[in-house]
Amino acid sequence: MSIGKELRLQVVAEGVETQAQVDYLQSLGVRYVQGWLFARAMSSQDCDDWLAVNLEGRTPEEAAASTFVGLL
């Protein structure tokens, strides 16, 4: 994490499976995470469907206020 920070890179933590991992990564300053805690691997059509259900109605302000932003 420190190397990425020194190089001013946006670090993505992969393989996050528990809220405890999210909390720890957040304490290190990591803003972007991905893993099974959020969603299992899925086809592009399933991803479209998941996004429609889970992000529908979210305003830009709500998205900007999120602790973790981004979807990979």
**Residue 71 domain flag:** no
Task: Look up the pTM and report it.
Answer: 0.62
**Residue 47 domain flag:** yes
Is the Cβ–Cβ distance between 37 and 22 less than 8 Å?
Answer: yes
pLDDT of 52 reads 76
Pairing, β 32-33 against β 12-13: parallel
Domain containing 10 equals: 2-65
- pLDDT tens digits for range 28-45: 989 889 999 988 888 988
pLDDT of 64 reads 64
**Residue 56 domain flag:** yes
**Domain count for the chain:** 1
pLDDT of 72 reads 52
